[in-house]
Amino acid sequence: SRRRFLQATATGAGVVLAGQKATADVRRVGPWASQYGERSPFDKVNRTISGNLQHESETPQQALSGMITPSSLHYERHHAGVPTIRPEEHKLLIHGMVEEPKVFTLHDLLRFPQASRICFLECAGNGKHHFKSDEKTTPQRLCGLISQSEWSGVSLSSLLREVGVKKSGSWLLAEGSDACLLTRSIPMERALDDVLIAYAQNGEAVRPEQGYPLRLIVPGCEGSMNVKWLRRLEVSDQPFMTREETAKYSDPLKDGTVRQFSFVMDAKSIITQPAYPLQIEKGWHEIRGLAWSGRGQVAGVEVSDDNGSSWHQAQLQSPVLDKSCVRFGLLWKWDGKERLLTSRVIDSTGYTQPSARELIAIRGKQSLRYHNNTMTTWRVQSDGQVFYQRMD
Amino acid sequence: SRRRFLQATATGAGVVLAGQKATADVRRVGPWASQYGERSPFDKVNRTISGNLQHESETPQQALSGMITPSSLHYERHHAGVPTIRPEEHKLLIHGMVEEPKVFTLHDLLRFPQASRICFLECAGNGKHHFKSDEKTTPQRLCGLISQSEWSGVSLSSLLREVGVKKSGSWLLAEGSDACLLTRSIPMERALDDVLIAYAQNGEAVRPEQGYPLRLIVPGCEGSMNVKWLRRLEVSDQPFMTREETAKYSDPLKDGTVRQFSFVMDAKSIITQPAYPLQIEKGWHEIRGLAWSGRGQVAGVEVSDDNGSSWHQAQLQSPVLDKSCVRFGLLWKWDGKERLLTSRVIDSTGYTQPSARELIAIRGKQSLRYHNNTMTTWRVQSDGQVFYQRMD
Amino acid sequence: MPEKLGIGFVPSPELVKAWDTAIQPDGRGLPPGKGCVTDGQRIYVEQCQVCHGISGKGGQYDVLAGRLAENLFPFAAESGHPKTIGNYWPWATTLFDYIRRSMPLLTPGTLSDNDVYALSAYLLHLNELLPESACLDAASLPQIEMPANKRFVPDNRLETSAVR
Amino acid sequence: MPEKLGIGFVPSPELVKAWDTAIQPDGRGLPPGKGCVTDGQRIYVEQCQVCHGISGKGGQYDVLAGRLAENLFPFAAESGHPKTIGNYWPWATTLFDYIRRSMPLLTPGTLSDNDVYALSAYLLHLNELLPESACLDAASLPQIEMPANKRFVPDNRLETSAVR
Ligand code: HEC
Ligand code: HEC
Ligand SMILES: [Ca+2]
Ligand SMILES: [Ca+2]
Ligand SMILES: [Ca+2]
Ligand SMILES: [Ca+2]
Ligand SMILES: [Ca+2]
Ligand SMILES: [Ca+2]
Ligand SMILES: [Co+2]
Ligand SMILES: [Co+2]
């Protein structure tokens, strides 16, 4: 790229000697202000669409910075596509074991105190390609089902107070208004804690594919708990045992049991740079990546360049927030030798991200179709090419 | 809106009795995943374009939530429109009183440690319409030239270390590559503090109208210091006295002096809801707004509904960050009487936002074309209509 | 903050009735009506087989039928064993609830409650959990003992910081 | 972190020369060349007047010319007094720097350095700061004493939490 730079200078690229006649340096004004901005036409970073129904799209982790995911690149997982909802027709019904059932319009919800929080959403299936992928696999493919936004809306607890939950009410059903009317059960304890009914994502209305106009946000919990296009909450005295918490999203264990309601996402991290398909040069680089925990805050991230023999404390970007993704970095000099790069996160509860072998030993490899939070390893070859290194 | 709701229920709106034949309740799947998402077609919230060259656009504060402004709605102020820059051709030159001048490509910058921060940008002219506007004026018009993003890039101090600033180097010139090659001088002390060379905004590449591919971010300082399309930094032993820090953005004072380099934005707040053109009903509402300070953190916001006779502490959304906007809220019951709603912020340095009369008395009304951080008042009429109330 | 802000409306009984369709594991929520294995088979062949295969196997989408020996539960460690209603689903009520709200994939909401009882019965029959002569209604559906039911346990990870 | 990471390139002298065009208040950066009021008038009429008006007043965009009595500086309190080069600008070097980098609005970069000296001279003349016979070059431009220069003071707000 030194060559490219010298070329660019030589061929002008808008630059001329500041002589007496500088007419070659004419600069023309560009377009002025616009109503709703778009990204640069040179920015081609996209989600990758996957699944036999094109029901998923993966966030391009390796191309992003900081901790906010642009709403346009927030991962998707749909069970019946994206419904088209007119906001003035949308209603939220809260009923069941309550003193007084109520229905709220968006206008009503805007009158309640607004709460906002930055937190990640992660599909329980994030990591499902780990043990099926070859070395030419990107962070986007391996870990593209996590994204982070600032969500704003009403605390669910404010609305539950408004309807008056009966003593018997210990679970809540959340129902979407997509074609499949997706449902999930949520323990009341959790519902009264930090759950939001979000009408905004990164400042503006929640995006259509993220649940416009209303999405349930259950911080730290698997994506499908965060019911999109939310239309109904039903209070009951037991979980509803919906398909998405029995047949799916449950974890068969090696002892023959099935772990259910394992919706809190364990701590995970991944190096997003350098990673396949980059080729790096010798010298200084920042090894960068993402770390998060559904159990609490990221306490620290360690990076190894020797397959876990030694670990180095990475820097965390700030702020580090509860149930929130953080970008980490470690300044690292590559000496041209083959290296295995790995990261692991430790969260505020003391939980440490396991290696693939460790978690396979505990849960079984097939169990890790969901809730696979194992470490990811990248192999830097001596020619600088970086490849995914399976460790199962 | 009760009427509208009952209507919607009566006419069906997709809802039928759950009888033996539920065929009227057919729900069709929507479109599946996409590469780069768009907002709902029903979301019509836009920037308003203003200025005789259409050189500005204002953020729709009253329609937004939380503290992140969507990049597509970040305010704009251009001096020569938006240039089209090919990222692979863009370079950043650092020279002048340095040991070794250097030029960096975007690829080079990505190798440095990445820093991110959430901070506001505010045009020095935010508030210039205060004393010229009639009662039918929105928060967007009065206060649309402030927005907030997460900015990611390289610490300027990392790059200055790379070139080695000479002892004599006490100021820095930043130059954009827009048609007018906009320049601003920055004191070295500040440049070594918390200044960023940002290549990312809210996770993805900086938007074209915000400086793609590189923008200088000087947290807490007036917009034009945050030079867009940054191509050059020159170290010198004195400020350059560019047009934007002499003829413009300076503050003539009543004692006949002109305050220069007054780029730190004083603390300000504004109620964004209820505000013109809303009409509210009796009962509970949240009075909401934005507060910030370029001097440090927001320490508290107070709201008055009686023209400043009594003040009530508002709630701040979290996190509250340094030189960062925060959304505040106060639950408030409107009794149907005429009310004057005002907010004022106090920052971590003890600075309190002044009233219009106070600041006019100190600086003079014409001085407040720039750096007008006075309080904004809204009049709630007894019919619930809300209007802007000039207080000069 | 006061106890209640008085925002929002009391819903019409029609709205609650139309939306209050979730079925609970004890059978609460199940509607009147009835359906038999043989009817279910007819509807399945017409409306479901194209995606889920003949007799619930070999289709492009989820495998619905198939049992394993009583003591075999290989889903944690081995691949190649599809999770089916018969070998993995803990509650029969989930079947009624899910089919009624979500299937057929492209036109959910078109089945009558009788159809859904019939399809549930047929799928349970394919999983060797009902005889071919069986019919299901609100009383009998929740009675069905699902082989995997006893295996489901609540999350126990959060009691410790160890990896589980 | 090591002192230097060794990232980035040493720029070519051509690049630095082409971009190193900012003028400092002491005149550093001013290029060779020269221009006179009369030339400046000709260029102004052709290229600037359409936007800035005849003799720097009454155009659609910024008013460039106009003086006030020596002790009049009404910009804080009164409206209706345009800030001009003559009554508000603290440095003459700013004029050369700004015109060369930014004007004419739609085609900046088309003026020669001689043109810019001439336009600076003409605008200073319009502001009664140079006689009609004057010419400007790198030596003389920084010598011009601007009436408002003495008024400019650095920011003093941050010393206190009081409003200033
Ligand atoms: C056009 C394709 C299609 C048709 C027709 C269809 N299904 Fe499905 N079915 C699917 C897909 C795809 C899924 C998985 C959906 C998901 O995971 O969100 C599914 C899931 C299911 C499941 C849950 C399986 C599991 O293990 O979780 C059941 C039960 C089911 N379908 C029953 C039916 C019945 C009964 C019919 C007919 C009335 C039917 N399906 C028609 C495509 C179809
Ligand atoms: C097509 C319109 C147009 C033309 C032609 C034009 N200007 Fe300007 N000029 C402007 C505008 C608009 C501004 C304000 C730009 C801004 O604030 O970013 C301006 C600003 C200026 C200023 C700064 C005024 C101040 O008070 O800050 C000077 C000096 C100036 N022009 C000189 C010139 C000269 C000399 C020419 C001819 C060589 C010229 N202009 C041609 C539109 C024009
Ligand atoms: Ca590299
Ligand atoms: Ca209202
Ligand atoms: Ca019910
Ligand atoms: Ca299945
Ligand atoms: Ca220079
Ligand atoms: Ca002017
Ligand atoms: Co090491
Ligand atoms: Co009061």
D73 lines ligand 2 (CB under 6 A): no
Q: Render pLDDT for B100-109 as a digit per residue (tens, 0 to 9).
A: 999 999 999 9
Chains A and C touch (3+ CB pairs under 8 A): yes
Q: Cβ–Cβ of A34/B76 closer than 8 Å?
A: yes
Alpha-carbon gap: B208 to the closest alpha carbon of chain A (Å) = 6
What pLDDT shows up at residue A230? 98
3-state secondary structure of B243: helix
C99 lines ligand 1 (CB under 6 A): yes
Distance of CA D21 from the midpoint of ligand 7 (Å):
6
| pLDDT tens, chain C, 164 aa long | 788 999 999 999 999 999 999 999 999 999 999 999 999 999 999 999 999 999 999 999 999 999 999 899 999 998 889 999 999 999 999 999 999 999 999 999 999 999 999 999 999 999 999 999 999 999 999 999 999 999 999 999 999 999 99
The number of domains in chain A is 2
* Token pair 């995914």: residue: A388
Q: Which residues contact B215 (CB under 8 A, 6 or more apart)?
A: B151, B197, B198, B201, B206, B226, B227, B228, B229, B230
Mean pLDDT of chain A: 94
User: Mutation test of ligand 1: which of C45, C47, C105 has the most ligand atoms closer than 8 Å to its C-beta?
Assistant: C105
Reduced to 3 states (helix: H, G, I; strand: E, B; else coil), residue A199 is: strand
Q: Write the DSSP string, B317-342.
A: PS---TT--EEEEEEEEE-SS-EEEE
- The shortest CB-CB distance from C76 to any of A238, A263, A364 is to A364
Helix (H) or strand (E) holding A91: none
In 3-state terms, what secondary structure has residue A307?
Answer: coil
Minimum Cα–Cα distance from D164: chain B residue: B362
Are A42 and B86 in contact by the 8 Å Cβ rule? The answer is: yes
Whether residue D115 lies inside any domain: the answer is yes
Q: What does the pLDDT read at residue C80?
A: 84
Distances (CA, A) of D143 to D55, D71, D122: 23, 22, 16
* C-alpha span between A348 and A339 (Å, rounded): 30
- Distance from CA of residue D9 to its chain's centroid? 33
Give me the residue from B29, B285, B329 closest to A80, CB to CB: B29
Give residue D62 CA to ligand 8 midpoint distance, Å: 4
Residues near B257 by beta carbon (within 8 Å), at least 6 away in sequence = D151, D152, D153
Q: Which of A83, A204, A288 sits opposite B70 (nearest CB)?
A: A204
CA C78 to chain centre: 25
Beta strands in chain C (DSSP E): 34-36, 135-137, 152-154
Can you say whether residue A249 is alpha, beta or left, with left for phi > 0 and alpha for psi between -120 and 50 degrees? Answer: left
Give the environment of ion ligand 10: residues with CB less than 5 A.
B 305, 310
A214-218 contacts, C-beta under 8 A, 24 or more apart = A214/A90, A214/A92, A214/A106, A214/A109, A214/A153, A215/A151, A216/A156, A216/A174, A217/A117, A217/A119, A217/A121, A217/A151, A217/A153, A218/A186, A218/A190, A218/A263
For residues A211 and A176, give the distance between their C-alpha atoms in angstroms, rounded to a whole number.
8
Which atom of ligand 2 is least distant from the CA of B52? 12
Same domain, residue pair A71 and A170:
yes
Residue A274: asked if its preceding bond is cis (omega within 30°), the reply is yes
In a domain, residue C51? The reply is yes
CA–CA gap between residue D100 and residue D120 (Å, rounded): 10
pLDDT of residue B24: 53
Residues of chain D in contact with residue A2, where contact means CB-CB under 8 angstroms, are: 9
Together in a domain, B224 and B286: no
Q: CB–CB of A20 and D107 under 8 A? A: no
For residues B107 and B241, membership in a common domain is answered with yes
The CB of C116 under 6 Å from ligand 1? The reply is: no
A357: left (phi over 0), alpha (psi -120 to 50) or beta: alpha
Q: Which domain holds residue B354?
A: 268-389
Q: Are the Cβ atoms of D113 and A23 closer than 8 angstroms? A: no
> Do the Cβ atoms of C163 and A108 come within 8 Å?
no
| d(CA B233, ligand 7 centre) in Å | 10
Both B224 and B274 in a single domain? no
D47 Cβ inside 6 Å of ligand 2: yes
**Interatomic CA distance for residues B313 and D64, integer angstroms:** 48
In the beta sheet, which residues pair with residue A320? none
Take residue D47 and report the two structure tokens written for it: 């290229």
Residues of B near C (Cβ–Cβ under 8 Å) read: 2, 5-6, 9, 15-23, 25-29, 283-284, 331
CATH code at A295? Answer: 2.60.40.650
d(CA B47, CA B56): 9
Main-chain dihedrals φ then ψ at residue C143, nearest 5 degrees: -80, -20
Q: Is the pLDDT of residue A155 over 70?
A: yes
Cα end-to-end span (Å), chain A? 37
D53: in domain: yes
- Chain segment A318-359, per-residue pLDDT in tens: 999 999 999 999 999 999 999 999 999 999 999 999 999 999
Residue nearest to atom 36 of ligand 2 (CA): D48
Residue A199 lies in a domain: yes
Claim to verify: residue B180 and residue B285 sit in the same structural domain: no
Q: Specify if C100 maps to a domain.
A: yes
Query: Across chain C, what does the average pLDDT equal?
Result: 97
Q: What is the 3-state secondary structure (H, E, C) of chain D?
A: CCCCCCCCECCCHHHHHHHCCCCCCCCCCCCCCEEEHHHHHHHHHHHCHHHHCHHHCCCCCCCCCCCCCCCCCCCCCCCCCCCCHHHHCCCCHHHHHHHHHHCCCCCCCCCCHHHHHHHHHHHHHHCCCCCCCCEEECCCHHHCCCCCHHHEEECCHHHCCCCC
State whether A37 and B103 contact (CB < 8 Å). Answer: no
Q: Does the C-beta of D153 come closer than 6 Å to ligand 2?
A: no
**Domain match, A115 and A228 both:** yes
| Percent share of chain D, pLDDT over 90 | 95
CA dist B121 and D98 (Å) reads 24
Using CA coordinates, name the residue in chain B closest to D89.
Answer: B247
Distance CA B278, CA B255 (A): 41
Ligand 2 lined by D65 (C-beta under 6 Å): no
Residue with CA closest to ligand 1 atom 2: C51
E strand map for A79-182? 92-96, 102-104, 115-122, 146-155, 171-176
pLDDT at B191: 97
Judge whether D110 is closer than 8 Å to chain B, CB to CB.
no
Task: Flag if A57 and B33 touch (Cβ within 8 Å).
Answer: yes
The reply to whether B8 falls in a domain is no
CA of residue C58 to ligand 1 center, whole Å: 13
At residue C2, the pLDDT reads 80
DSSP result, B41-82: TT----PEEESTTS-EEE--GGG--SSPPPGGG--EE-SS--
Task: Answer yes or no: do B224 and B332 share one domain.
Answer: no
Q: Looking at the structure, do residues A253 and A286 belong to the same domain, yes or no? A: no
User: Domain of D140?
Assistant: 31-151
Given the CA of residue C88, which atom of ligand 1 is nearest to it? 26
The pLDDT tens digits along chain B (392 residues) read: 343 333 333 333 333 333 344 445 789 999 999 999 999 999 999 999 999 999 999 999 999 999 999 999 999 999 999 999 999 999 999 999 999 999 999 999 999 999 999 999 999 999 999 999 999 999 999 999 999 999 999 999 999 999 999 999 999 999 999 999 999 999 999 999 999 999 999 999 999 999 999 999 999 999 999 999 999 999 999 999 999 999 999 999 999 999 999 999 999 999 999 999 999 999 999 999 999 999 999 999 999 999 999 999 999 999 999 999 999 999 999 999 999 999 999 999 999 999 999 999 999 999 999 999 999 999 999 999 999 999 99
Question: Residue D45: CB within 6 Å of ligand 2?
Answer: no
Indicate if A163 and A56 belong to the same structural domain.
yes
The total of other beta-carbon atoms located within 10 Å of residue A279's CB is 12
Give domain status of residue A14, yes or no: no
A384 CB-side CA count, 13 A: 11
Q: Residues of C with CB below 8 A from A351's CB? A: 161-163
3-state DSSP call for residue C129?
A: coil
The CATH number linked to A78 is: 3.90.420.10
Q: CATH no. for residue C91?
A: 1.10.760.10
**Interchain contact, B261 vs D155, CB within 8 Å:** yes
What is the C-alpha separation between B101 and D16, in angstroms, rounded?
9
* Structural domains in chain D (count): 1
pLDDT value at A364 more than 80: yes
Cβ proximity of B327 and B66 under 8 Å: yes
pLDDT over 60 (residue A15): no
* C43-71 per-residue burial string, b: 16 or more CB within 10 A, e: under 16: bbeebbbeebbebbeebeeebbbbebeee
Mark whether B208 and B280 lie in a shared domain.
Answer: no
Domain boundary among A236, A259, A282: A259
- Identify whether D2 is part of a domain: no
User: Looking at chain C from residue 34 to 73, which residues have their Cβ under 8 Å from any Cβ of chain A?
Assistant: 60-61, 73
User: Rounded to a whole number, what is the distance in Å from the CA of B116 to chain C's nearest CA?
Assistant: 30
Closest residue to A49, CB basis, from B4, B35, B213: B35
**What's the confidence (pLDDT) of residue B61?**
98
pLDDT at A105 over 90: yes
A172-221 pLDDT per residue, tens: 999 999 999 999 999 999 999 999 999 999 999 999 999 999 999 999 99
For residue D4, being part of any structural domain is answered with no
Q: Which residues contact C24 (CB under 8 A, 6 or more apart)?
A: A236, A238, A240, A241, C93
Q: Which amino acid is at A271?
A: I
Confidence of residue A24 (pLDDT cuts 50, 70, 90): low
Ramachandran category for residue C69: left, alpha or beta (phi over 0 → left; psi -120 to 50 → alpha): beta
Instruction: Give a yes or no: residue B132 inside a domain.
Output: yes
Closest Cα partner for C91 from A124, A171, A250? Answer: A250
Could you check whether the bond before residue D154 is cis, i.e. omega within 30 degrees of 0? no
Domain boundary residue, one of A259, A283, A306? A259
For the record, the structure tokens of C42 come out as: 């007819």
Q: Give the per-residue pLDDT at B8.
A: 37
Closest CA to A184 of A131, A121, A226: A226
Q: Judging by beta carbons within 10 Å of its beta carbon (0-12, 13-18, 19+), is residue B278 exposed, middle or buried?
A: middle
CB contact under 8 A, A91 and B317: no
Question: Phi, psi at residue A31, to the nearest 5°?
Answer: -60, 150
Among D8, D75, D105, beta carbon nearest to B162 = D8
Indicate whether D1 pLDDT > 80.
no
- Residue-level length of chain D: 164
Residue A2 pLDDT grade (very low, low, confident, very high; cuts 50, 70, 90): very low
How close is the Cα of A96 to the center of ligand 5, in Å? 6
Contacts of C108 in chain A (CB under 8 A): 80, 179-181
Q: Which residue of A has its CA nearest to C86?
A: A247
Contacts with B280 from chain C: Cβ below 8 Å: none
Distance CA B272, CA B142 (A): 10
Against chain A, the chains showing at least 3 CB pairs within 8 Å are B, C, D
How many angstroms does the Cα of residue C31 sit away from the middle of ligand 1? 21
Asked if residue A41 belongs to a domain, the reply is no
Closest Cα to atom 18, ligand 1: which residue?
A: A79
